[in-house]
Amino acid sequence: MMDVSGVGFPSKVPWKKMSAEELENQYCPSRWVVRLGAEEALRTYSQIGIEATTRARATRKSLLHVPYGDGEGEKVDIYFPDESSEALPFFLFFHGGYWQSGRTSGKWCVQDTGSSVVAKLPPAVTSVCLCSKDESAFMVHPLTAQGVAVVIVAYGIAPKGTLDHMVDQVTRSVAFVQKRYPSNKGIYLCGHSAGAHLAAMMLLADWTKHGVTPNLRGFFLVSGVFDLEPIVYTSQNVALQLTLEDAQRNSPQLKVAQAQPVDPTCRVLVVVGQFDSPEFHRQSWEFYQTLCQGEWKASFEELHDVDHFEIVENLTQKDNVLTQIILKTIFQ
């Protein structure tokens, strides 16, 4: 095993003392699921997302595949309450999937060559993509039933898209919603896993070049990664191709304490599941602490008895704890 601290990192950061194998394990959420096997957990997550999206498209008033830019995949699905107007709260969701296509958690094996980590996909394993707006309308029914418009955002995942480009796309998607619905009663951003990272990057966005300041009233950062440096040394980086500089530039953990909230009343909720890995717990807790060091109105929740996937699957349920937290934040 290679100790990644051997690459010259400071040893005070826990992950930097992990072997390559353990670091890989920490950043493979499906390996921490206790209710199901890893493969079954991924299939269940995908199936629930597909079913929720199919139902939402069949039963809710919607605008599907609306372009927010000229690029391939730069589209949103917008779902409306029955009694709709432009003066609605808008909830934007950014899906997870480690910023990439067909590379789900637990799909990679790692080989330690002694000097570097080489990640390879086992030839017998087929990829399952959990990375599409077309499978991510989990929360549409519970939120639209209470008068919230829901926007599911697509972005250009790797290997086609770079992380810098994804951040730019998500920024433009938020600006697009504000421009299209200027009378909104607040824009609330929610991301899961890699999507939580992209949502968190909106805390740092420079809106001046987009010609609009969105009415951001709340962030829900669910089981996210906020310091990307560890990702550089896992197999997730095979498609992403992040350099250390890329990771640091796109790590809100390193920058958010110095950023000034556009609206000091904007709430930022950092959420993690009980059965997320210790590294996901550390990332969420440390990001919450960093928010508190700044002037952000932050809170932290560990949700009992849920894993990395269940925490989002349960958003299909109106009585779910996180669903209720979201609604209370919007309508407080």
Instruction: Indicate which residues carry an active-site annotation.
Output: 193, 276, 308
Q: Would strands 117-120 and 109-112 be described as parallel, antiparallel, or unpaired? A: antiparallel
Residues 98 and 130: beta-carbon distance below 8 Å: no
Interatomic CA distance for residues 284 and 226, integer angstroms: 7
Peptide bond into 89 cis (omega under 30): no
Dig out the tokens for 317 from the structure. 């349920």
> Which of these, 111, 121, 106, lies nearest to 32 by C-alpha position?
106
Q: How far apart are CA 118 and CA 28, in angstroms?
A: 16
Q: Which residues contact 45 (CB under 8 A, 6 or more apart)?
A: 130, 309, 312, 313
- 229 to each of 27, 226, 315, how far by Cα in Å? 12, 9, 30
The rounded distance, in Å, linking the Cα atoms of 275 and 311 is 10
The half-sphere exposure of 89 on its side-chain side, counting CA atoms within 13 A, is 21
Torsion of CA 94, 222, 36, 129, to 10 degrees: 20
Q: In Å, what is the CA distance from 202 to each residue of 35, 109, 176, 229?
A: 34, 33, 14, 19
Taking alpha carbons only, the member of 126, 46, 128 closest to residue 309 is: 46
Gap between the Cα atoms of 181 and 60, Å rounded: 19
Burial of 136 (0-12, 13-18, 19+ CB in 10 A): buried
DSSP per-residue letters across 170-222: HHHHHHHHHHH-TT-S-EEEEEETHHHHHHHHGGG--GGGGT----EEEEEEE
